[in-house]
């Protein structure tokens, strides 16, 4: 379709799951994509898939909780592709535990990956977007950023922060023509969801079956969420900022 022809995007957590699906979709729509992740093998595989399909992509190793790595991703993306128009702050982790069972180190890790990363990536991206006339930042929240969930206190806290960070950033950077929006996926069939099952000691098939109990009667796919990211990345959402879009098959509807 070429909806993003001539645009450049960074996708954090791009080696798997929602990040992988989104990197591939943005590239298919014409964007050059920087895939940022700790997983070099998975990230390079995504880059190869994009290139084999005729797109442009590069892998950049990145621990999104570290300032130097985030700066490097931005610098290498601009050096490779000459600009920067879209940032998908997607990297995330989950720890299924209540406040008593969560260690301080686990709390810090979840906050570092889920919240601090958005602060750091945006800190280095915004000046380049502003100098280039604007851009789009999309943050990955969660349904549990809007309502509470059991045995996931650090995750719920982090995703609630992401939702309100999005609104604050939209206010701050709207005058620079930088739109900042948030997607809140429901349970999606990714390795992270299967890892939740292991943390809770449940068989994958039982956990995923329960996750499908929602009005649309199925679990989400990474591609479902990627389509929502594409909407915010492109011109179709040119007058939309500070928005929170729930993509969960109706899970929060009632």
Residue numbers annotated as active site? 155
CA distances from 121 to 83, 92, 115, 155 (A): 15, 13, 10, 19
What would you measure as the largest C-alpha separation in the chain, in angstroms?
Answer: 50
Residue appearing with tokens 């590069």? 58
Taking a C-beta distance cutoff of 8 angstroms, is the pair 196, 96 a contact? yes
Q: If you compute the radius of gyration of the chain from its CA atoms, what whole number of angstroms results?
A: 17
For residue 117, what are the contacts with CB-CB under 8 A and spacing of at least 6?
A: 12, 64, 65, 70, 89, 91
Q: E strands along 57-143, which residues?
A: 57-61, 86-89, 135-140
User: Residue 114 class from Cβ within 10 Å (0-12 exposed, 13-18 middle, 19+ buried)?
Assistant: buried
């Amino acid at each position: 379709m070429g909806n993003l022809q001539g645009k450049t995007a960074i996708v954090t957590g791009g080696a798997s799951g929602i990040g992988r699906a989104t990197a591939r979709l943005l590239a298919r729509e014409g964007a050059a994509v920087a895939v940022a992740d700790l997983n070099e093998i998975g990230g390079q595989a995504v880059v190869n898939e994009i290139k084999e399909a005729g797109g442009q992509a590069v892998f950049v190793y990145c621990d999104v909780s570290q300032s130097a790595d985030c700066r490097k991703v931005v610098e290498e993306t601009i050096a490779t592709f000459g600009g920067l128009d879209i940032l998908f702050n997607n990297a995330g982790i989950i720890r299924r535990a209540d406040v008593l069972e969560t260690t301080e180190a686990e709390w810090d890790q979840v906050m570092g990956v889920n919240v601090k990363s958005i602060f750091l990536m945006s800190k280095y991206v915004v000046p380049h977007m502003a100098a280039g006339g604007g851009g789009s930042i999309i943050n990955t929240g969660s349904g549990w950023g809007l309502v509470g969930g059991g045995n996931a206190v650090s995750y719920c806290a982090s995703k609630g922060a992401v939702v309100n960070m999005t609104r604050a950033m939209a206010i701050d950077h709207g005058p620079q023509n930088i739109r900042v929006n948030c997607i809140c996926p429901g349970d999606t069939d990714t390795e992270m969801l299967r890892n939740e099952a292991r943390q809770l000691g449940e068989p994958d098939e039982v956990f995923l079956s329960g996750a499908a109990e929602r009005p649309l009667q199925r679990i989400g796919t990474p591609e479902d969420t990627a389509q929502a990211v594409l909407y915010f990345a492109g011109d179709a959402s040119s007058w939309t900022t500070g928005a929170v879009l729930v993509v969960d098959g109706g899970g929060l509807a009632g």
